Structure formats: C-alpha cells, structure tokens
A = this chain, B = another copy of it.
Amino acid sequence: MKKTKAKLSKNNSGRKFENTITAFIKNAENIYLPGISIDTVIFSFHDGKLRVLLIRYGDMPFYNLPGGYVEKEETLEDAALRILRRRTGLNAIFPEQFYIADSLERTRNNAVVRMMTKLNVDLTGNHWFEQRFISVCFYALTDEAKVRITIQDFISEFKWFDIGQLPDLFLDHKLIVEKALSRLRVDLYQRPVGLNLMNKPFTMGELQQLYEIIDQRKLDRTNFQRKMLSMNILERLEKKQTGKAYKSPYLYRFKQSDN
C-alpha cells in the first residue's frame, strides 16, 4: 500500500490523489447515471503506425482506455465529447459511437472495486461502483501533435501504443479496440478518416500506408493513386518534397473547403 502511494507521488502527490478520488467517489452517484460508462478509443497516425492512446491508473499492471461516466443531464455523445476534450485538449473532435460493451463477464468479480481497493481507496458505504456497468464506446481520430495531455484525475501515465503492440488491457478493453478497428475499416471509405489523421502534408505513399494498416491488406500503388485523385478530395501542393531518395513525390493535403 505504501508502495502505491510512493509510486503515485512521482506524478501526483498521494494525498492529492486520495483527496481527488475520494471526492469523486462520494459524488459519483449524485452526478452520474447509474450503470452506464463511456470508453473512448483515440486513434492517431504517427511514423507510419496507427496508434491508440492508453492510460494507467496508479501502479496498476495494465492500461485502460480513457473513459468516464454520463452526467444525469447529458447525452451520451456530449459525455463522450466532454471526456475526449478533457483527455486530449481538443475541441474539434468527432466521436463516433461504434459499440456497446454489455457482456456479463466484464463486471464479474467486481473488477472496478478491486482496482480501487488496490489504489488504496476507501469505498466504505459506497456501492455505486459495485453495480453492473454497460459501456457505450466511441472512437475518435486525432492528430497526435495537437493532443495535449495533462496528468489529472487519478491517472499516473498515458502513452500512445502501436495498434499491433498493445499491452495488457483492463477488462474487455482489448475487445473494444478490435471493435473500433473493424468499425474504422468500414468507415474508411465513407468518412473523412484520412482528413482527421493526416495533419501535415503527406505523400501518396504515406496515405496508402494508413489505408493499408486500417484495411488490413496490400493495395496496388497505382490504382490507389488513381482512386484517391478521382475522388477529388485531395489538394496537390505543387512543391515537391526535398527527399534524398530517388524521385520526389508530390505532397498532398485534404481539401478543407467542403465538409
């Protein structure tokens, strides 16, 4: 227990942490809807890798998806927006609801309560966290460079993970990431997925890399180029990249005009 405090104090003083969480727990059932939580899968594209933002509570040996609860007078989307803004600092973010995690397994053994106990939190007389929770899941596409994360609440660490190398995750959060991915795959050719993930001007090859990761298959280079250009959603920036490689490709960006 002492060890927990000690570790926590590296990021957030143990006392402060306990004050915060105690206050939160006391008020939770007055502020939030019972039995419903929100989990968010926050994607980014960095160094040719699709990544997900994960957080860690205290010195728990696993990571969590950023999540939260729904205020009594708030829609689910507003709750997701609030949580996403608080975690990423981004205002222009478009949460997409893709799944409801409602398996009975997820709240067996009182996982949340056990986690809180390990975090040295006193739950005496508070039964709000002991109920079964159903989680409404949203995904969001972000630009890693614009995300500003501040360590707050009871979080001790945050980290972007390559989608192919996820660490141990809390509860069914791994399943939730997979569901987000398969939904993202469906949305890939329907929604402006690239627009929200590609911040800086990019080459056609880089864009193709993103599509191949999400679509889970190799795409023909020349056909991909033809298709992307025919959709008329890209703007070619006449200047070429000063690459040291063999031929300089064009740079592109998504047209912002129409939405």
Tell me the A residues contacting B by CB distance below 8 Å: 33-36, 72-77, 97, 100, 102-104, 131-132, 134, 136
Q: Closest CB of chain B to A172's CB: distance in Å?
A: 12
For the complex of A and B, 7 pairs with smallest distance between CB atoms: A76-B102, A34-B34, A75-B102, A33-B35, A34-B35, A73-B104, A35-B35
Taking a contact as CB atoms under 8 Å apart, the answer to whether B36 and A72 are in contact is no
With contacts A103-B75, A104-B73 taken as known, whether A134 is within 8 angstroms of B97 at the C-beta atoms is no
Partner of A33, one of B74, B76, B132, B136: B132
Question: Which residues in B have their C-beta under 8 angstroms from that of A35?
Answer: 33-36
Q: Closest CB of chain B to A255's CB: distance in Å?
A: 26
Taking a contact as CB atoms under 8 Å apart, the answer to whether B104 and A76 are in contact is no
Taking a contact as CB atoms under 8 Å apart, the answer to whether B100 and A134 are in contact is no
Q: In the complex, what residue of chain B is closest to A72 when comparing beta carbons?
A: B132
Q: In the complex, what residue of chain B is closest to A97 when comparing beta carbons?
A: B100
Taking a contact as CB atoms under 8 Å apart, the answer to whether A36 and B136 are in contact is no
Taking a contact as CB atoms under 8 Å apart, the answer to whether B75 and A104 are in contact is yes
Taking a contact as CB atoms under 8 Å apart, the answer to whether B132 and A36 are in contact is no
Question: Which residues in B have their C-beta under 8 angstroms from that of A76?
Answer: 100, 102, 134
Q: Closest CB of chain B to A75's CB: distance in Å?
A: 5
Q: In the complex, what residue of chain B is closest to A136 when comparing beta carbons?
A: B100
Q: Closest CB of chain B to A73's CB: distance in Å?
A: 6
Q: Closest CB of chain B to A120's CB: distance in Å?
A: 29
Q: Closest CB of chain B to A35's CB: distance in Å?
A: 6
**Cα–Cα distance between A109 and B97 once the two chains are bound (Å):** 28
